[in-house]
Amino acid sequence: MLEKALNGSPRYWGWVFLLLAVIGVGFISYLRQFSYGLGITGLSRDVTWGFYIAQFTYLVGVAASAVMLVIPYYLHNYKKFGRIVILGEFLAISAVMMCILFIFVDLGQPMRVMNVMLYPTPNSVMFWDMIVLMGYLTLNLLIGWTTLGAERKEAPPPAWVKPLIYLSIPWAASIHTVTAFLYAGLPGRHLWLTAIMAARFLSSAFAAGPALLILLALIVRKTSRFDPGKEAIQSLAKIVAYAMTINVFFFLLEVFTAFYSNIPDHMYPIKYLFVGLEGHTNLVPWMRTAAVLAFVGLALLIYPNTRKNENILPLALIAVFISTWIDKGMGLVVGGFVPNPFERVVEYTPTAPELLISLGVYAIGFLILTVLYKVAIAVKEETEGVEIPH
Amino acid sequence: MSINRRQFLKIAGISTMLGIGSTAIVSGLRKGDLEASQFEVSPGALTAKRWGFVVDMSKFKSGEDIKRVIDSCHSIHNVPDYGNPKDEIKWIWKDDYEHVFPNQENEYATAELKEKPFMVFCNHCAQPACVRVCPTKATFKRQDGIVMMDMHRCIGCRFCMAACPFGARSFNFRDPRGTDENGRPFIKKENPEFPTRTKGVVEKCTGCYERLAKGLKPACVEASNGGIVFGDLEDPHSEVRKLIAKHYTIRRKPELGTQPSIYYIIGGNENA
């Protein structure tokens, strides 16, 4: 099937080469980091994880979101998602690939990465995170490729895929839960030490992932003959609305506990993020933007007339996507390190090489996504109108 | 018997996967994997059930005393000096009371107490969070309580730095064996007796394991004129236990349950 990715319009190839160019720049920046060390980034002794790990965390959420299509389609027989469930699975594959790459570029000794498997350490959450991520990648590759291959032959998918599909549902929840446990089990990092961390991760994932998926579906509809279906998009938009509502609600729970209890350690990081601490305000404009976008996005998604308007819907989704990205892709990770164990504020700003490397990883992810979507859409265009039992 | 190309590739692929997979499983599950240092204790070595420290700042009379203790550690352990706080590596250093014990918040405490310097280094916790999170066992706790680093196994993920609530760990953001723009080496004078590190690994105080093996107390203890006392916390007759019994001592963030092994005498001699 992969050969279908070799047959595209000049616009398709233009996009592919643009991505390759960005990957090239990112790769050169990575070589610089590889020879100089992670000192090339804005990371320090006090803020030891930054942009890379934040992107990893955010993308785990995007990957988990495929389950928001799989559950209605396979468990509730919601046929409208039949056409786009493959888009969710392929998005998951590219997102997990980016997760793995973001972890890789964050390692001080990347050549030793196999030590995680050579010396398996079950008491480390990172060991389990590797296992669930690898498993989720394998599941989605198997499921996505097999179901699409069957669809191409206009036949129902083989029976052995069904159990894997059902397995992928709890597995999607697991990748997010385990990733949240990376943070939620550490003593002395007050922003992270919260029992609803995994729940917050899941809610923000189920808002951000489907939001991106709808945006991608709208792009697919514009650039190909394949129509994901108006009703499917609307249903997904409702999922985003619910998930985002829960996400904001969960965040407000954190604010209540920190501020009503009036415990300084719990208030400091939230203060740092939204009003600044001891005059340090690097993230304040970002976090406030995220807050405004969250409420704007929510209002547009909850009010039916704006949600149903396909000119306004993308704006609402972009607002949700950016808001959750700032919250998790910047605030959550850095906020955990501020103030430091000595209650001193040391700020973090990513450097240019760090951003170029990140951009390169995103470009690799989008290249994988482009190729996979190209194949999927080519198959969909061939079999248009054929109803396949599942 | 003949096989076609498809069958051949299938068999080749599966056997490769099995081969690689089983090696990892076998080496991972091998029992009795002990670190060399736990295998056999050299005859003259200092041993204990749980090493610990008591820090008495009243014995540090001047900034010179503090500097001497820091230098005694950093010089023999080849701790590099990058000349900037962002990349800084430190095994032992001083900070003031207010920041060493942030949970002892007291708005009416005198400025003198708040600014009083205290020596800080790895607490060699009995329940170390860093050891719990390390995905490769590159950091581990020895039977004598020393929390060790294997800098050859560390992958540089810095999970331990996020987990340590005491900021005891440093990361080699640059190559410690290198030089700055002016050609000045980061390690001023290399001690050939102790290994230098590579970039991209985490390091910290290792309780002078190399000196304990030779029957010597840690370098900071030796240089501190009694300001840092070292001994077995599990032995009721040890000097550290006697000091803890005699003085009012506190530990950093004991409420987090890591059970730090450094006890600080507050108030010094006046409290005795």
B84-134: per-residue pLDDT in tens?
999 999 999 999 999 999 988 888 999 999 999 999 999 999 999 999 999
pLDDT number for residue B44: 87
Residue A99 · residue A56 · CB < 8 Å:
yes
Whether the CA torsion B234, B240, B243, B248 is positive or negative: it is: negative
Prediction ipTM score = 0.90
pTM of the model: 0.90
Of all residues in chain A, the one with the smallest CA distance to B88 is: A45
| pLDDT higher than 50, residue B272 | no
Min distance A313 CA to chain B CA atoms (Å): 39
pLDDT number for residue B22: 59
Percent helix, strand, coil in chain A (nearest 5)? 75, 0, 25
Min distance A49 CA to chain B CA atoms (Å): 8
CB interface of B with A, residues 10-29, below 8 Å: 24, 27-28
Of all residues in chain B, the one with the smallest CA distance to A39 is: B173
| pLDDT higher than 60, residue B33 | no
Rounded to whole angstroms, how far apart are CA atoms B42 and B232?
18
Q: Scan for tokens 């406030």, then name that residue.
A: A288
| pLDDT higher than 90, residue A80 | no
| pLDDT higher than 60, residue A388 | no
B45-78: per-residue pLDDT in tens?
999 999 999 999 999 988 999 999 999 999 999 9
A340-356: per-residue pLDDT in tens?
999 999 999 999 999 99
Average pLDDT over residues A55-67: 91
| pLDDT higher than 50, residue B271 | no
Residue ranges of the domains in chain B? 49-271
A125-152 vs A161-184: helix crossing angle, rounded to 10: 150
Q: Between B103, B155, B199, which is nearest A37 by CB?
A: B199
The CATH architecture assigned to B49-271 reads 2-Layer Sandwich (3.30)
| pLDDT higher than 80, residue A188 | yes
B149-170: per-residue pLDDT in tens?
999 999 999 999 999 999 999 9
**Inter-chain CB proximity A44 and B167 less than 8 Å:** no
Min distance A343 CA to chain B CA atoms (Å): 6
| pLDDT higher than 80, residue A366 | yes
| pLDDT higher than 70, residue B20 | no
Query: In sequence order, what DSSP letters do the residues of A365-385 get, joined into one string?
Result: HHHHHHHHHHHHHHHHHHTTT
For chain A, domains (ranges, CATH) are: 2-382 (1.20.1630.10)
B228-252: per-residue pLDDT in tens?
999 999 999 999 999 999 999 999 9
Of all residues in chain B, the one with the smallest CA distance to A347 is: B86
| pLDDT higher than 60, residue A53 | yes
Q: If you average pLDDT over every residue of chain A, what do you get?
A: 92
